[in-house]
Amino acid sequence: GAVVSQHPSWVICKSGTSVKIECRSLDFQATTMFWYRQFPKQSLMLMATSNEGSKATYEQGVEKDKFLINHASLTLSTLTVTSAHPEDSSFYICSARGRGALQETQYFGPGTRLLVL
Amino acid sequence: AQSVSQHNHHVILSEAASLELGCNYSYGGTVNLFWYVQYPGQHLQLLLKYFSGDPLVKGIKGFEAEFIKSKFSFNLRKPSVQWSDTAEYFCAVTFTGGGNKLTFGTGTQLKVEL
């Protein structure tokens, strides 16, 4: 139980284009979803927290207009990297937290590797 | 600001050796503590967690961790490692008043040699 998927698993795009990454909780309702960014050989850095039906809360230094987050349902959150540039190339990971016993722990997706040319 | 530190960035062990990975946090209040593992090419998986009660916590795959409040530490241990334990290990903490946000340590890359 508590499986989180991400799509796509990797994406290559041209500079200036926008990329959408999906995060889905497959077997539970995710009341809260988190988006992280991981640089090579570094730890996960939280970008934003989203609760279903409300606006995302962004961490300091994260541009909300560049990284658009939508948590439209209890099983889906999307991260859109707008006008992507090479410095946005990274590994993006989502996690989800549910209700009850699933509230205590974040369950992570497999990540999406983004390469901006 | 609250922070989490992992002192060992790279650890190389032979099979059957004992493992201890350090994790310390800086915060005077209540914390929840986690260890996650990331095998090569795979996603983060929860090894174990501590919220309250017995400070010695047992997790999956023979791992355990001990919360020592006076030392602000939550070290991960395994008495005998296997080649399949080669992975990156992350300590993570949530702090009261932090909205259940996880703060991760920088990770420890463990390589187990045959």
| B45 neighbourhood in chain A, CB within 8 Å | 108
Q: Which of A19, A26, B93 is nearest to A10 (CA)?
A: A19
Q: Does B72 touch chain A (CB under 8 A)?
A: no
pLDDT at A101 over 80: no
Among residues of chain A, what percentage have pLDDT more than 90?
Answer: 70
Region A93-112: what's the mean pLDDT?
87
- Average pLDDT on A89-93 reads 95
And the tokens for B112? 């187990």
**Which band of pLDDT confidence, cut at 50, 70 and 90, is reported for residue A85?**
very high
Q: Which of B32, B43, B109 sits opposite A108 (nearest CB)?
A: B43
Are the CB atoms for B68 and B56 separated by under 8 Å? no
Query: Which pLDDT band holds residue B29 (cuts at 50, 70, 90)?
Result: confident
Q: If we measure between CA atoms, which residue out of A13, A37, A30, A21 comes closest to residue A93? A: A37
Rounded mean pLDDT, B84-91: 96
Which among A24, A41, A43 is the top mutation candidate for probing chain B, defined by the most B β-carbons within 10 Å of its own β-carbon? A43
